[in-house]
Amino acid sequence: MNVQFKKGALELCVLGQLLNQDLYGYSLVERITRFIDISEGTVYPILRRLEKDGMVESYLKESTEGPARRYYRLNARGKEHFQSMLADWNELSQGVEDILKGVENEKK
């Protein structure tokens, strides 16, 4: 998979997952990896950045299956950010589609 395509998209996916429930980093990796190849070393920096930028808040919770989990909760600002990113994403993917549209037609 072209690496560059993922730029920004992974953050959008993380935000989308947090929209309806608090999740911890490792579970985000598991969830997203079902659809897009992503590694831990990518998710944690995203979460740190989101926290630094005031989009999410985090809290620790004990686990019976390993070390304590750090859950992330999307706050109001994060939700706005998600909506804004989603709009951009839709705009871009629509733009790409429009630009490539007709290529097949003209081809023959």
Interface ranges with DNA (CB under 7 A): 1, 3-4, 6-11, 24-27, 37-42, 44-49, 62-71
Cβ contacts of 9 within 8 Å, gap of 6 or more = 36, 89
Stretch that binds a copy of itself, among 1-9, 42-50, 51-59, 69-77 (CB under 8 A): 1-9
* Binding residue for a copy of itself, selected from 12, 22, 51, 58, defined by CB under 8 A: 12
Amino acid identity for residue 23 in this structure: L
Instruction: Report the distance separating Cα 32 and Cα 47, nearest Å.
Output: 14
Stretch that binds a copy of itself, among 15-23, 43-51, 54-62, 66-74 (CB under 8 A): 15-23
For residue 60, what are the β-bridge partners? 70
Q: Are strands 56-61 and 69-74 parallel, antiparallel or unpaired?
A: antiparallel
Q: Is 75 one of the binding residues for a copy of itself (CB under 8 A)?
A: no
